[in-house]
Amino acid sequence: MSIDLSTVPQQIVNGVTLGGMYALIALGYTLVYGILLMINFAHSEMFMAGAYFGLLFLNILSKVAFFTSSTLGFILLYVIVFLLAMICTGILGMLTERFAYRPLRHAPRLAPLISAIGVSLFLQNAALLWISSRSIPFPVLFPVKNYRIAGANVSTLQILIVVSTILLLIGLDTFISKTKIGKAMRATSQDRDAAGLMGVNINSVIALTFFIGPALGGAAGMFSGMYYGNIKYNMGFIPGIKSFTAAVIGGIGNLRGAMLGGFILGFIEAIAAGFLSSGYKDVIAFLILILVLIFRPGGLLGESVVEKV
Amino acid sequence: MGGSKMDVMTSIDSGKLSPKKIALYVVLALVAIGLPVYFQSVGNAFMVHIFALVGIYIMLSLGLNIVVGYAGLLDLGYIAFYGMGAYVGVLLGYVFQGITGGPGSALAGFSYWFLLIPAALAGALTGIALGTPVLRLRGDYLAIVTLGFGEIVRIALTNNIGGLTNGSAGLPRVGEIIVPAAGQKWVYLNLSSANFTFSKDLFWYFVIVALVLLAVFVIRRLDNSRLGRAWVAMREDEVAAAATGVNIMQTKLWAFSLGAMWGGVAGITYAYWVGFISPESFNFMESVLVVCMVVLGGMGSIPGAALGAVIIAGLPEIIRYLAQSPLLSGVLTAEQASAIGDYRFLIFGGLMVVMMALRPQGILPSKRRARELTEAEAIIEEENESLWEAEHKHDTPHGL
């Protein structure tokens, strides 16, 4: 196997773009896990739903001449579309929590997981049956330029994706660590009952968690649609699993860990895809997941968890 | 409380059949044997095919029931064992053909019968190979890792690993065949008459029924064995089970490999019945479907697992068939019926959610399990609360 090092800068750029998306999705897994100790299996469908909502609003709003006539219009268009898509995905996330997970809050551990698989199956097939079974093109309405930076091609899209991802990550981090609601969320994740006794409304904190996580996942879904140019009803499965891997790499339940894990996984995957056959690209994430769980189940930033009785 | 406990225990342990139960078994046996023969005699090969397919899923569902229902380990990559059995069966079949002198030789037909046990072992050994490193993981982690494993197997098969699997084109390759099992031709020649053909599908249907009966027998025995009790104890409380002398790793590995074994048996049977396998038959959705069957029917219950398979694999097809028959053609149009088939995943997804909220024990729960889930709900709730607390205490240092 010949190794061509000249492609490395390009793969780093691709890795960062991919890693940003993984980080956004991974946050949803880690937030929910931090508070409810459950893997929200349906989170990959939030990613998918975000892309579909995004396309819907893009189609509606791009008919308005104001948005497509000037640069300012384009910026406004995308900001509005992103916000709307994120809000809708967030509401979808809250609905799944309300109907699928809340009744099971004290059930044995397997029950919410099975319920989550059910939600995932339901949403995927709802998109398949009621929208389309084929992949739908996702238009990019502004002109995309390519810049050559340090031997790598960087497109406007990649810059947009990476910059917005970083803004969202910083925003979330500030929200959790600085605001009062963020404090309530941290308190709930530490000890739900004690937080409740201190006057935190547990139900609304959990609902908020199920709004933020899916909203970020939805944003990632839109990025993915723009980046790859099409969306499909089952687009969430593979990125979902990989992002879960990212969350585990970073230490599930740990926000900064999820961000770090996302970028690490993006890097590894982009580099590996360059040097291994692309057919095995998806295997890498699964292998890393298995290895991390076996050798360092607490992740990079998490600490090892000792089972107590 | 003590008295009712005794009643439940004795009713579980007594293997006596009430007349009602005997009648039920007779009716079931008549339906299971009579209906496919009837369909064959009226020339409806499609329904015979569906019956055999449902049989395969019952086998899978029974096998997964050991892992999910008895041992409480959620395995989302169960279909990998099914795939393993199918591919190992077909590939060893080539070897067998080579030894016995080509696909045309008289002995080659015995390859299925001869390879049934190796395929079962292949499933079981894969189970052990996967289980040994990952079974230490907690429930939800285990689910994701098994999912990853299932995908790795499927991707490896698709990528023609070692030049063996012929990639997405599947096996057998052009010019090769999976030799029909010995017996298939015999029943065709000897049991067919002028207006009844003992077809390949019907032959395999009976093979599958025999295997399912064997599975039920073995699993029932297991359920009432020391190992079965260890599984239940471990499922309910791993630490307490370990404290009373259950070897957790070993018990989990037994569950994993015995469950995987039936996946292997179902795999080779499917391969020799249909005569063609490709990686797409072993995708994640199939794993989820089998989990649905176990959950819907009732985790830890043999009749439940079977019923779940009948409902999920059979019902949509049966509705589709009925819509075309004079029985229902006035009520449902063919389009409506096939729409029901299309909507099945949507319905199953919704059903899983509703099921978990309203009837987590499934349609036909095992008596033991139902008792835990209903009568002892308050106790379990209390336990979960304190468990939740204990689990949360050490997440405290960093939290979010």
How many Å separate Cα B293 from the centre of its chain? 8
Provide, as residue numbers in chain A, all residues whose Cβ is less than 8 Å from the Cβ of B393.
191, 308
Contact across the interface for B346 and A282, Cβ inside 8 Å: no
Task: Kindly state the tokens that stand for B58.
Answer: 């019952």
* Chain B residue with Cα closest to A284: B152
**End-to-end CA gap in chain B:** 44
The answer to whether A142 faces chain B, any CB pair under 8 Å, is: no
How far apart are the C-alpha atoms of A1 and B59, rounded to whole Å? 44
Residue B133, preceding peptide bond in cis (omega within 30° of 0): no
How would residue A96 be classed by pLDDT, with cut points 50, 70 and 90? very high
Give ∠ CA A136-A138-A143 in degrees, rounded to 5: 150
Q: Taking a contact as any Cβ pair under 8 Å apart, which residues of chain A between 74 and 113 contact chain B?
A: 99-100, 103-104, 106-113
Contact across the interface for A118 and B360, Cβ inside 8 Å: no
Sign of CA dihedral A196, A198, A204, A205: negative
Shortest distance, CA B340 to any CA of chain A (angstroms): 11
Contact across the interface for B352 and A106, Cβ inside 8 Å: no
* Chain B residue with Cα closest to A40: B140
Which of A219-228, B42-51, B322-331, B346-355 is most confident?
A219-228
* H or E element in which residue A230 lies: strand A230-231
More confident residue, B52 or A284: B52
* Chain B residue with Cα closest to A248: B141
The answer to whether A287 faces chain B, any CB pair under 8 Å, is: yes
Other Cβ atoms within 10 Å of B18 Cβ, number: 9
CA distances to A43, A89, A119, A161 from A85, in Å: 15, 6, 20, 16
A221 has a pLDDT exceeding 80? yes
Contact across the interface for B400 and A34, Cβ inside 8 Å: yes
Average pLDDT along chain A:
87
How would residue A271 be classed by pLDDT, with cut points 50, 70 and 90? confident
Contact across the interface for A121 and B348, Cβ inside 8 Å: yes
What is the model's pLDDT at position A227? 92
Shortest distance, CA B158 to any CA of chain A (angstroms): 8
**Could you give the residue ranges of the DSSP H alpha helices within A97-148?**
110-130
How far apart are the C-alpha atoms of B303 and B164, rounded to whole Å? 38
How would residue B242 be classed by pLDDT, with cut points 50, 70 and 90? very high
What is the model's pLDDT at position B388? 59
What is the model's pLDDT at position B398? 45
What is the model's pLDDT at position B7? 46
Shortest distance, CA B279 to any CA of chain A (angstroms): 14
Q: Give per-residue pLDDT as tens, B338-363.
A: 677 678 788 888 888 988 888 877 88
In percent, the amount of chain B with pLDDT more than 90 equals 34
B15 has a pLDDT exceeding 70? no
What is the model's pLDDT at position A241? 87
What is the model's pLDDT at position B35? 87
- Specify the amino acid at residue A225: G
How would residue A214 be classed by pLDDT, with cut points 50, 70 and 90? very high
- Specify the amino acid at residue B22: I
Q: How much is the average pLDDT of B228-247?
A: 91
Nearest residue, CB atoms, B140 vs list A39, A279, A283: A39
Mutate to test the interface with B, among A35, A43, A122 (most CBs of B within 10 A): A122
User: In 3D, which of B39, B58, B59, B64 has the Cα closest to residue B49?
Assistant: B39
How would residue A308 be classed by pLDDT, with cut points 50, 70 and 90? very low
Contact across the interface for B391 and A37, Cβ inside 8 Å: yes
Q: Give per-residue pLDDT as tens, B265-286.
A: 999 999 999 989 999 889 888 8
Provide, as residue numbers in chain B, all residues whose Cβ is less than 8 Å from the Cβ of A306.
394
Shortest distance, CA A272 to any CA of chain B (angstroms): 16
Average pLDDT along chain B:
82
| Residue A253 phi, psi (nearest 5) | 100, -10
How far apart are the C-alpha atoms of B380 and B371, rounded to whole Å? 11
pTM: 0.83
How would residue B389 be classed by pLDDT, with cut points 50, 70 and 90? low
What is the model's pLDDT at position B54? 95
Pair A120, A45: CB distance under 8 Å:
yes
What is the model's pLDDT at position B4? 45
Provide, as residue numbers in chain B, all residues whose Cβ is less than 8 Å from the Cβ of A305.
394-395
Pair A30, A260: CB distance under 8 Å:
no
A298 has a pLDDT exceeding 80? no
How would residue B237 be classed by pLDDT, with cut points 50, 70 and 90? confident
Provide, as residue numbers in chain A, all residues whose Cβ is less than 8 Å from the Cβ of B342.
129
CA distances to B38, B46, B47, B186, B196 from B43, in Å: 9, 9, 9, 20, 8
How would residue B11 be classed by pLDDT, with cut points 50, 70 and 90? very low
What is the model's pLDDT at position B383? 58
User: Does residue A186 sit in helix, strand or coil?
Assistant: helix
**Is the ipTM of this structure higher than 0.90?**
no
Contact across the interface for B345 and A39, Cβ inside 8 Å: no
